[in-house]
Amino acid sequence: MEGFLNWFFAFMTRMINGIWQIISGIFGGIVQIFNIAGYIKQFNIYKDSFTVFDWILSILGIILVFAIWVILFYLIFILIRKYIRFRRSIVGNEDLLQEVADLHRDVMRLTKEKERILALRIGQTTVPAEELNAIFEERAEGEGSAEGEGASEEAPAEGLPIRFARLNAVDEKYLYYVRPDYQDNLTLSQLCDTFRNFACSRMGLFYELKIIRLMFAGLASTKLILLQGISGTGKTSLPYAMGKFFQRDSTIVSVQPSWRDRSELFGYFNEFSKRFNETELLRRIYESSYNDDINVVILDELNISRVEYYFAEMLSIMEMPDPSEWKIELVPSSWDNDPKKLGGGKLLIPQNVWYVGTANNDDSTFSISDKVYDRALTINIDNKGVPFEAPDTPPMEISFSYVQSMYDKAIVDHPVDQKWLDNIEKLDNYVIQKFRVAFGNRIMKQLKIFVPVYVECGGTDLEGIDHILCTKVFRKFEMLNLSLIRDEIKGLINYMNTLFGKGAMADTIAYLERLQKTY
């Protein structure tokens, strides 16, 4: 024990001495730098040998050194002052954010209190004193801010205004609903052929079979389809014909340039009339929760306003993996006479609704952001369909559940070959290295759904991979300075031919070659 104590004492003594030497060295150096008396004594030693020129240089040297130290101290002072201001601004911003959060909670609490008082006033002639006392006690104690999200505000049904007249009408419509006798004897390939023949024979619309396959395969991988192309190629007619084919007319939403938020799509609550201004889209989505039909919503000219603004909430909701979480809050609380399926004032977005947007890329429209392109499946319709002869084909009754079951079966029966997945990974690494563009997990997830369904629809796996790469990955090249990487694009084309076979990625290569010529 004594040996250890002696060693430990010597060990700590050496360490403390080292620390003391550091501190004393720093302070000793500072004292030596600003030892004015020492500088004067040193100057007196050498001044007797100075010539006139030496005196001039000495004075200039002293002034220069003094100026350098003044500038250095000034810079340190400026840095310290800026740091103090920066810290003050951070603290001020945090205080401001806290105040905003507190105000937001107060607004929510006061809104709920106002609706409760309004409901009590409408439901009965006089409000009992104990009811009002309870309300104001809750306000004083701040209980309103702690209420759970979507909490239901119970109110007497008698005398309440009907807030959702159109949705309540849907409830009544489905009181005695009888499920149709859906057909379930088609494969996805037959479904594509049948729909194409229906559009030709009954509606005079001509589409390439590949477009139909892309449409149905795209709807398996995402709820949002973007149809792009020049005007007059049948972009709006395609989803419209789908509605006719499934005997459930599509709901057409004509996007307006003034649209800024989701209230343009779903409507809004009028505080004066105490009624919700319901849109046709809101009614269609609500009604879809009652049936198993395939419901198609057309967002016509969706980029005449910014999609990221008015469709932002839907884009976020559709990314949630659990469909039971696909909810939009229409009103902060519920009344007893609200629609049956509007729980807690929230609307559940059902899975049997597909959204098809049409987009023209011209001076009158906005560019579509990566956020939208990544979540949607893009189909380019640049040519008018070539007329052909088709047998008379009637519409069909097909359920969403049956189509979804065919999608699920296709994913199991036709998984993407591991060879192609390995080659896609190699291509991803090549593109990252040469162009700083990455595929992303979302794109790969969609590819693994889209390609098997496209194969089941009658296409090939390489055609499906080609479409995903062209519309989701290499579309990002438009944001690059292509004039500087034109030669690199040529190398990329050669590398793709090596990985997938010469000409296998026809759409992607054609797109890259157009970029080379354009830029």
Q: Residue 123: its pLDDT value, please?
A: 44
Number of Cβ within 10 Å of residue 210's Cβ equals 17
Q: Residue 420: what pLDDT?
A: 95
Q: How many CB atoms lie within 10 A of CB 339?
A: 22
> What was the pLDDT predicted at 215?
97
What gap in Å lies between CA 343 and CA 479, rounded to an integer? 44
- 278 forms beta bridges with 267
Residues 6+ apart with CB under 8 A from 254: 300, 301
pLDDT given for residue 285 in this prediction: 97
Phi, then psi, of 251 in degrees rounded to 5: -90, 120
Q: What is the dihedral of CA 360, 300, 376, 500, to 10 degrees?
A: -50
Dump the DSSP string for 55-117. Answer: HHHHHHHHHHHHHHHHHHHHHHHHHHHHHHHHHHHHHHHHHHHHHHHHHHHHHHHHHHHHHHH
- Token pair listed for 113: 């209190």
- Would residue 402 be called left, alpha or beta, if left means φ above 0 and alpha means ψ between -120 and 50 degrees? alpha
Q: Whose CA is closest to 371, among 299, 470, 472, 298?
A: 472
Q: How far apart (Å, rounded) are the C-alpha atoms in residues 128 and 135?
A: 11
Q: Which position has the token pair 């970029």?
A: 515
- Which candidate, 354, 223, 238, places its Cα nearest to that of 293? 354
Give the residue ranges of DSSP H helices in 267-390. Answer: 280-288, 307-310, 312-317, 370-375
Longest dimension (CA), the chain: 119
Q: d(Cα 31, Cα 42) in Å, to the nearest integer? A: 16
Alpha-carbon distance 456 to 217, whole Å? 9
188-380 belongs to which homologous superfamily? P-loop containing nucleotide triphosphate hydrolases (3.40.50.300)
Q: Write out the chain's pLDDT in tens, 519 residues.
A: 677 777 777 778 888 888 888 888 888 778 777 778 877 887 788 877 788 888 888 888 888 888 888 898 888 888 888 888 777 766 666 677 777 777 777 777 777 776 666 655 444 434 444 544 454 455 445 444 434 444 444 444 456 789 999 999 999 999 999 999 999 999 999 999 999 999 999 999 999 999 999 999 999 999 999 999 888 888 999 999 999 999 999 999 999 999 999 999 999 998 888 899 999 999 999 999 999 999 999 999 999 999 999 999 999 999 899 999 999 999 998 898 999 999 899 999 999 999 999 998 777 788 898 889 999 999 999 888 889 999 999 999 999 999 999 999 999 999 999 999 999 999 999 999 988 888 778 899 999 999 999 999 999 999 999 999 999 999 888 887 777 777 888 899 999 999 999 989 999 999 998 888 765
Secondary structure of residue 359 in the 3-state scheme: strand
Residue 162: both structure tokens together: 């009907």
Which residue carries 């509605």 as its tokens?
243
Report the alpha-carbon distance of residue 373 to residue 301 in Å, rounded. Answer: 15
The domain locations on the chain are 1-34, 188-380, 414-518
The first and second tokens of residue 506, run together, are: 């026809």
Residue 150: strand, helix, or coil: coil
Q: How far apart are CA 243 and CA 240, in angstroms?
A: 5
**DSSP 8-state secondary structure symbol assigned to residue 369:** P
* Both tokens assigned to 330: 């229409």
In the prediction, which pLDDT does 158 show? 52
Q: Helices 400-413 and 188-203, interaxial angle, to 10°? A: 130
**Per-residue model confidence (pLDDT) at position 393:** 96
